[in-house]
Amino acid sequence: MIPREKIDEIRESADIVDFISGYVQLKKKGRNLFGLCPFHIEKTPSFSVNQEKQIFHCFGCGEGGNIYTFIMKIEKLSFGEAIELLADKLRIPIKKVTSKTGIKKQNLYNINETAAIWFNNNLVSGKFASNVQKYLKNRGISGKVIDDFTIGYAPDRWDGLIKYFSKDRGDINFLEKAGLVIKGDKGYYDRFRNRIIFPIRNEFGKIVGFGGRKYSDDDPGGKYVNSPETEIYNKSKILYGLFEAKNKIKEKKNVIIVEGYIDLISLYMEGFCNVVAPLGTSLTNEQGKSLSRFVNKAVMIFDADEAGLKATIRAGEILIENNIDIDVVVMPKGEDPDSFIKKFGAKEFEKLLDKRISLLDFWADLYNNKYETIIEKTDFINLILSFLSNIADGIKRGYLINKLSDLLRINTTELQNKSNKLIKRKRINHKEYVMNKYDEDEELLRLFFTDVDTKNIMLKEFKLDMITNERIKKIFELIFRFYEEGRILDAAEIMDNIEDEELRKYLSGVIFKQFNISKETNKMTEERPQADIAYRMILGKKREIIRKEINRIRIKLKTETENMDVLRSYNDLLNKKKEIDNIIDEMK
């Protein structure tokens, strides 16, 4: 773990505007800088950065935080990795104290690595593996591919891996956390039994999980057994083969996307090495994003069945959103890349690739040949237009719509109008997000981060029971807790201490709301210092609490007319209220 002082030091030595400018073109507009959001597709800038407070917020998608948040989001890093990246950039050396979660993750990687080597040894030199070896040989899976992907074999035993690890190589708890063993009624047993094992690596080459495929039809189990999601394995984020293929992808400036890892391995053996595969899901936005860092052209290869079709349509949407140009190859009926290349060889597969069509042609083909009724056709057009309205570049979008109108033989203006409507609808949503209603608690939080005097007054006078907005209360709880430890957090600093992502986004939104419709704030810009405004608002809240208390006691007094204690506290309250009224009057 990196000590807190170091985290602060690094954050404070950096400038969020400098850093973000490396990714987003920022233009000054009023107190803030604006640019096109890197986290969602948009046409007009709603991504804003505040240099003074060192935070950012997007009014379109709600993303927000400090420089670390930005690095984590854009580079897909953990908090610790984001700090390291920034420290590295600024040439600030850091001494690390390993954190508990760091240890845990590292343990899981180590266990997976060890398990992968064991699986691989079982396959290469195992005495029980002769059937598997034969099977793989028949399928042409040879030494080099087995090495490159560390393919292995899990023997037909309930405790093979457990026995191996029990020889002082690890803790059964970690094996369970890595998803390698399962806890049953009679104790633990191996998840992968009698399966060919394909280790799944993340983009950086670390093994995060395993896919197990059966090789014998005699085996009663399912065709595939896969690792569950673990602390280090999130299916929707990992693309199988990306680590092994990324250099080839960059070199060829093109990536081939297939449905499963068996397809990928078969293509790899025949020399197609720029291939990736999502893991049992259709392509996700996260996967699209990580691809877009390496390449802007993709060929999608999908099976000619209904599932393949759906996956292709969805992947098209995702790749468009991530600015990747797409061609489509639909496999001949009943074939997948694996079966095809086995039967017909690399040359025929190359021919198939040459016959690829653009995504637009693919859509047109569906429109003209697959969808028959008017309802089906209109639904499909609406779907496509909603994809296209995510393209930020107006020229590109216009070009695609023109082409589509040619292909579908639909009037261009008609399509254009519809697309404009969709875009407008998106913009209206975004406006609603900005023009939130005035909320006094939000305003107070915003003022808190605006200057030192305000901060000091609020730390003295403001109390949690004055807050009605639950989210604001949570944030102030944090502020007060740190204050008790002698720390006064600033806007950028507090972001590091909010783990709840939604709350962090909300906070950045609130802080950026200054050009919103607050009456008090408008007055402030004329003549009154912010601290006064905040103080008045706090007094108003205090008075409100006292007023409620007075009402409560008044009711009590009706029945307990003789109770001197109640009468006394009633008078006390009336005096307190009067005091506050006087101060407020003087302030006017």
Nearest distance, CB of residue 39 and Zn ion, angstroms: 4
432 versus 585: smaller Cβ distance to Zn ion: 432
Q: 233 burial class (0-12, 13-18, 19+ CB within 10 angstroms)?
A: buried
Q: Which of residues 407-436 bind Zn ion (CB under 5 A)?
A: none
At 497, the amino acid letter reads N
Q: What is the C-alpha to C-alpha distance for residues 60 and 56, in angstroms, rounded to an integer? A: 12
Nearer Cβ to Zn ion, position 407 or 503? 503
Cβ closest to Zn ion, residue 41 vs residue 136: 41
**CA 155 – CA 119 distance, rounded (Å):** 8
Among 35, 45, 60, 288, the residue binding Zn ion under the rule CB under 5 A is 60
Q: How far is the CB of 480 from Zn ion (least distance, A)?
A: 31
Site string for Zn ion, 23-52 (x = CB under 5 A): --------------x-xx------------
Taking the least distance from each CB to Zn ion, the nearer of 48 and 227 is: 48
3-state DSSP call for residue 441?
helix
**Comparison of 39 and 68: residue with beta carbon closer to Zn ion:** 39
- 165 scored as a contact of Zn ion (CB under 5 A): no
Q: By three-state DSSP, how is residue 188 classified?
A: strand
CA separation, residue 566 to residues 88, 228, 549 (Å):
66, 64, 12
- Bridge partners of residue 327, in order along the sequence: 299, 358
Pair of tokens at residue 26: 């920022």
Classify residue 366 by its DSSP letter: I
Question: Strands, E, within 18-54: which ranges?
Answer: 27-29, 32-35, 47-50
Q: What is the DSSP letter of 230?
A: B
Least distance to Zn ion, CB of residue 509, Å:
11
Q: What residue has token string 């779907």? A: 383
Please tell me the total number of residues recorded for the chain in this structure.
Answer: 588
Distance of closest approach, residue 378 Cβ to Zn ion, in angstroms: 30
Q: Which is nearer to Zn ion, 47 or 294 (CB)?
A: 47
Smallest gap from Cβ 61 to Zn ion, in A, equals 3
In the complex with Zn ion, the residue whose CB is nearer, 40 or 248, is: 40
Nearest residue (CB) to Zn ion, 59 versus 192:
59
Contact (Cβ atoms closer than 8 angstroms) between residue 56 and residue 50:
yes
Sort strands 55-58 and 47-50 into parallel, antiparallel or unpaired.
antiparallel
Q: Are 279 and 238 in contact (CB under 8 A)?
A: yes
Residue 565 parent element (H or E): helix 564-587
Structural tokens at position 105: 């993750």
Using the contact rule CB under 5 A, the part of the chain among 53-61, 170-178, 487-495, 501-509 near Zn ion is 53-61
The helix-helix angle for 440-448 and 501-511 (nearest 10°) equals: 80
Beta carbon of residue 63, minimum distance to Zn ion (angstroms, whole number): 5
* Shortest Cβ 319–Zn ion spacing (Å): 19
Residue 58 contacts Zn ion per CB under 5 A: yes
Residue 60 or 308: the one with the smaller Cβ distance to Zn ion is 60
> Closest approach of Cβ 488 to Zn ion, in Å?
30
Q: Which is nearer to Zn ion, 73 or 463 (CB)?
A: 73
* 164 and 118 Cβ atoms separated by less than 8 Å: yes
Stretch that binds Zn ion, among 55-63, 74-82, 402-410, 488-496 (CB under 5 A): 55-63
How far is C-alpha 213 from the chain's CA centre? 30
State which residue, 320 or 467, has the beta carbon closest to Zn ion. Answer: 320
Distance CA(237)–CA(259), nearest Å, equals 15
User: What is the smallest separation between the CB atom of 18 and Zn ion, expressed in angstroms?
Assistant: 20
Among the residue ranges 59-67, 68-76, 130-138, 175-183, the one whose residues contact Zn ion (CB under 5 A): 59-67
For Zn ion, how many residues bind (rule: CB under 5 A)? 6
Non-local (6+) Cβ contacts of 126 within 8 A are 153, 155
The DSSP bridge pattern shows strands 195-201 and 152-154 to be antiparallel
Minimum CB–partner distance for residue 46 and Zn ion (Å):
6
Least distance to Zn ion from the beta carbon of 67, Å?
17
Binding site for Zn ion (CB under 5 A): 37, 39-40, 58, 60-61
